[in-house]
Chains A and B, each alone.
Chain A
Amino acid sequence: MSATAPARPGNEIGRMTGLTLFTPVRRAWRPFLRLGFFVAWHAKVFNRHILQFNFIKFVRWTIVRDLPGEGLSYSYMLFESNFDGPWQHYIDAFAYVIPKDIRLTWGRGINFPYPPPSEPLKAWIARNSMEGGTYYCAYPQASTRMVRSALEVRKRFGALAREAERLTPEEFKAAYERFLVDAQAHL
Chain B
Amino acid sequence: MADYRNRVGGVYALTVFTPILPGHEDELRDHLAALPLGEEGPLARLDQLHVSRIQIFDELVDQGPPHRRETLERAHLLFTSTIDGELDPYLDAICERIGDEADGWWGHCAGYPGTADRAAFRRYIRAHKIDTNLLAVANPGATVRDVRESLALRERVVDFAAEVQGLDATALRERFLTAFADVR
Q: Which residues of A contact B (CB under 8 A)?
A: 8, 10-11, 13-14, 16, 18, 20, 22-24, 33-34, 37-38, 40-41, 46-47, 50-51, 54, 56-64, 67-74, 76, 78, 80, 82, 109-111, 127-128, 130-140, 142, 144, 146-151, 153-154, 157-158, 161-162, 164-165, 167, 169-170, 172-173, 176, 180, 183, 186-187
CA distance A64 to B72 in the complex (A): 14
CA distance A13 to B52 in the complex (A): 11
Residues from chain A with a CB closer than 8 A to the CB of B170 are: 169
Residues from chain A with a CB closer than 8 A to the CB of B23 are: none
Chain B interface, DSSP helix/strand/loop, else mixed: mixed
Chain A interface, DSSP helix/strand/loop, else mixed: mixed
Residues from chain A with a CB closer than 8 A to the CB of B137 are: 47, 51, 57-58
Are B183 and A151 in touch, CB under 8 angstroms? Answer: no
Q: A37-B133, A58-B138, A130-B55 are in contact. List 8 more A-B contacts (CB 8 A).
A: A58-B137, A60-B134, A62-B130, A67-B72, A82-B82, A138-B51, A161-B183, A161-B184
Are A23 and B147 in touch, CB under 8 angstroms? Answer: no
Are B173 and A70 in touch, CB under 8 angstroms? Answer: no
Nearest chain B CB to A141 CB, angstrom units: 9
Which of B5, B13, B139, B148 lies at the interface centre, i.e. has the most chain A CB atoms within 10 A of its CB?
Answer: B139
Nearest chain B CB to A107 CB, angstrom units: 13
Residues from chain A with a CB closer than 8 A to the CB of B67 are: 24, 110-111
Output the nearest chain A residue to B57 by Cβ-Cβ distance.
Answer: A130
Query: Interface range on chain B: under 10, 10 to 19, 20 to 34, or 35 or more?
Result: 35 or more
Are B50 and A137 in touch, CB under 8 angstroms? Answer: yes
B32 interfacial by beta-carbon distance below 8 Å: yes
Are A154 and B150 in touch, CB under 8 angstroms? Answer: yes
Residues from chain B with a CB closer than 8 A to the CB of A110 are: 63-64, 66-67
B115 interfacial by beta-carbon distance below 8 Å: no
Residues from chain B with a CB closer than 8 A to the CB of A58 are: 11, 13, 50-51, 82, 135-138
Q: Contacts A23-B63, A173-B169; is A37 near B134 (CB within 8 Å)?
A: yes
B128 interfacial by beta-carbon distance below 8 Å: yes
Are B5 and A41 in touch, CB under 8 angstroms? Answer: yes
Nearest chain B CB to A166 CB, angstrom units: 11
CA distance A169 to B170 in the complex (A): 5
Are B132 and A62 in touch, CB under 8 angstroms? Answer: yes
Are A133 and B150 in touch, CB under 8 angstroms? Answer: no
Are A134 and B161 in touch, CB under 8 angstroms? Answer: no
Are B80 and A139 in touch, CB under 8 angstroms? Answer: no
Are B138 and A144 in touch, CB under 8 angstroms? Answer: yes
Are B56 and A132 in touch, CB under 8 angstroms? Answer: yes
In the complex, which of the residues B38, B49, B154 contacts A187, with contact meaning CB atoms closer than 8 Å? B154
Nearest chain B CB to A127 CB, angstrom units: 6
**Per-residue contact bits, chain B 103-142, to A (CB 8 Å; 1 contact, 0 not):** 0000000100000000000000000101111111111101
Q: Contacts A8-B33, A57-B138, A154-B153; is A135 near B19 (CB within 8 Å)?
A: no
Are A78 and B15 in touch, CB under 8 angstroms? Answer: yes
B1 interfacial by beta-carbon distance below 8 Å: no
B144 interfacial by beta-carbon distance below 8 Å: yes
Which of A13, A37, A78, A140 lies at the interface centre, i.e. has the most chain B CB atoms within 10 A of its CB?
Answer: A78
Nearest chain A CB to B79 CB, angstrom units: 9
